[in-house]
Amino acid sequence: MTAAFRVLVVDDDFHVARLHSRIVDSVDGFEVSATAGTVAEAVAAIEADRPDVVLADIYLPDGSGLDLIARYDLDSVVLSAAVTSAAVRRAFQRGAFGYLVKPFGDDQLVALLRSYQRYRNLLDARPELDQETIDRARRVLNGGARDTPARRSPTETAVLEVLVSAEAALSAPVVAERLGLSRATAQRHLSALAHQGVLVVELQYGSTGRPEHRYRSVAPS
């Protein structure tokens, strides 16, 4: 099973950090790896257990969250009360893929994390990417629609519905059996849906042999 994306929450207000942590932990596929109230604490957390995503405030007691995110090759989001154009521009210049102005609704951070999840699904689905996939990933990360085709074939729709209603990730043979399809047909549609970023691919390791690919739907934003 794929590991959850680990998130470092950086905010000098303990109560705000706890609130943001609660939101992160409520999103399937994400977990808070650590919280930090200063740049020094954040650096120690990153060095000890490199997270996938950093949620950083700008104004910290011992420095700037913008300097922090620029220092590391990590995906990051700025959560700040700063609303000047200079602050926003610096955040994006230093690598943040999102900027939320405090106070914000829970749903805004949830939507941002789910966009990131679909973006990573697209990029991680194959070792090499074509331009279409890169453009789609960029649109998804920027909060665009799922970017799914305007029309799905009846078979692809049925495959997606099986995954949406399933309580756990399913393999191609199981999907094929439930829909009365050949394994090759089920696999083709599952791969296409994963490529679109609407399915997550998980690896199920057995005692011997190659790991089995299993698929589950991404929670809607």
For 71-93, what is the mean pLDDT?
A: 95
Q: Which tens digit of pLDDT belongs to each residue from 102-148?
A: 999 999 999 999 999 888 888 887 778 888 888 888 888 886 544 44
Cβ contacts of residue 204 below 8 Å, gap of 6+?
A: 1, 169, 171, 211, 212, 213, 214
**Total residue count of the chain as it appears in this document:** 221
List, in sequence order, every residue forming a beta bridge with 149; answer none if it has no partner: none
Yes or no: say if 88 and 98 are a contact pair by the CB < 8 Å rule: no
Answer yes or no: is pLDDT of 95 > 90. Answer: yes
Confidence category of residue 151, pLDDT binned at 50, 70, 90:
low
pTM above 0.75, yes or no: no
- Report the distance separating Cα 73 and Cα 52, nearest Å: 10
For domain 5-104, the CATH class is alpha beta
d(CA 187, CA 191): 6
E-strand stretches of 139-184 = 170-171
Residues forming a β-bridge with 36: 10
- Pull the structure tokens for residue 89: 């521009």
Rg of the chain over all Cα atoms, to the nearest angstrom: 19
Residue 32 falls in which region: left (phi positive, over 0), alpha (psi -120 to 50) or beta? beta
Residue 14 structure tokens: 């303990």
User: Where in the chain are the domains?
Assistant: 5-104, 118-217
pLDDT band at 150 (very low <50, low <70, confident <90, very high): very low
Contact 58, 82 (CB under 8 A): yes
Residue 169 CA neighbour count, 13 Å, CB half: 18
pLDDT computed for residue 148 by the predictor = 47
For the segment 43-47, the average pLDDT, to the nearest whole number, is 97
CA nearest 45: which of 100, 8, 91?
Answer: 8
**Mean pLDDT confidence for 58-77:** 96
> What integer best gives the mean pLDDT of the chain?
88
User: What confidence score (pLDDT) does residue 44 get?
Assistant: 98
Q: Which of 37-41, 160-164, 192-196, 210-214 shows the highest mean pLDDT?
A: 37-41
pLDDT tens per residue, range 163-193: 888 888 899 999 999 999 999 999 988 888 8
**Among the CATH numbers 2.40.50.140, 1.10.10.10, 3.40.50.920, 3.20.20.70, which is that of 118-217?**
1.10.10.10
140-149 per-residue burial string, b: 16 or more CB within 10 A, e: under 16? bbeeeebbee
